[in-house]
Structure 1
């Protein structure tokens, strides 16, 4: 059985999603799922509902145990969740959205100054490529650690 994993060898300097869209190009094949592969586009499979975690309930003595169990279950079964009542205000998020919009509007040369390095998710780029058969997400990312401060 062949091992398709090859993290550093498969890193590519392919065009970003923004470049492909701006040039009205057809997306590369690595962004296409085939019907029935990995359960994607297979209508016979149930649609996964993303669990909703009420973050405010995590700090309440009367509801925290139940909400922690929901969170644990969500992370085990789904690897993700939607957080509500988290206390993050629009006035906090607005400047973050503005800076994000400004960054992605930069010319490619400027964004590439912040490219992520091979084998790390941090920086500008797209999916880490872990397999030659991997289907990639149709997205460009900017990922930076902000906490703890000594890891920025």
Structure 2
């Protein structure tokens, strides 16, 4: 059974709430669950791993930065990957074009699928909102397109949009370059940095059969009014 909120696309909710001055209550995190004033993300230095330097096994400084990021944050940004900026710009533009298509066109790739005689179920791939399970759940202020891109033979083409026409080719090129220039060398560098053999993480993920996913997320402007002082 699919929760009724599963069908509420945030892009439409935001358009309806634009004149209200605040998003609907279901999208607002409770005060007690929000970060405290002591945790200000802009004051923290987000770690970055430079793949050009990590390619050199003798670069102890960059390996130490990667090791620290893995042990503290558990995530990091990647620089020096060599993926052309023009490809990233084109892929971003194509994804934006998809989100501004008419709803009927986008819902051809919905993550709510029909099963049996009149039944429906949520499944991760496709276009829509993230999974909704309960009435008490705080909903995410975003729509997304989520796709398995590797292994190529396991792509579910019914969820891969045909419009805009450029999206499929751009995503294929980005996936191929990301595997070659980012995923494989980065996993090897992570193994070295943590004192394991280079292939330990790639092997655990399934090697060449590792599942890889792409997620495009659309965040509508928040209707909450902000105040300024001066």
Q: Considering the TM-score relative to the shorter chain, is it more than 0.5?
A: yes
Are 2:129 and 1:126 aligned?
yes
Q: After TM superposition, where is structure 1 displaced by more than 6 Å over at least 4 residues in a row?
A: none
Shift in Å, 1:50: 3.1
8 Å CA contact 1:53–1:81 kept in 2: the answer is: yes
CA-atom RMSD in angstroms: 2.9
Report if aligned partners of 1:11, 1:128 keep a CA contact under 8 Å in 2.
Answer: no
Query: Which runs of no fewer than 5 residues in structure 1 stay unpaired?
Result: 1-7
TM-score by length of 1: 0.72
Q: Could you tell me which of 102, 105, 109 is aligned with 2:100?
A: 105
Alignment partner, residue 146 of structure 1: 149
Give yes or no for contact 1:127–1:137 (8 Å, CA) kept in 2: yes
1:114 aligns with 2:109: yes
TM-score (normalised: structure 2): 0.51
Moved more, 41-50 or 14-23: 41-50
Matched residue, 2:5: 12
Which has more strand, going by share of residues?
2
Q: Aligned pairs, how many?
A: 142
Compare the two structures and name the one with the higher helix fraction. Answer: 2
What's 1:43 paired with?
37
Per-residue CA deviation, residues 111-137 of structure 1 (Å, 9 max, x unaligned), is: 111112445332111222356543332
Which structure 2 residues correspond to residues 68-87 of structure 1 after superposition, within 5 A?
A: 70-71=65-66, 73-75=68-70, 77-87=72-82
| Larger Rg, first or second structure (1 or 2) | 2
Unaligned runs of 5+ in 2: 113-120, 156-230
Distance 2:134 2:71 in 1: 23
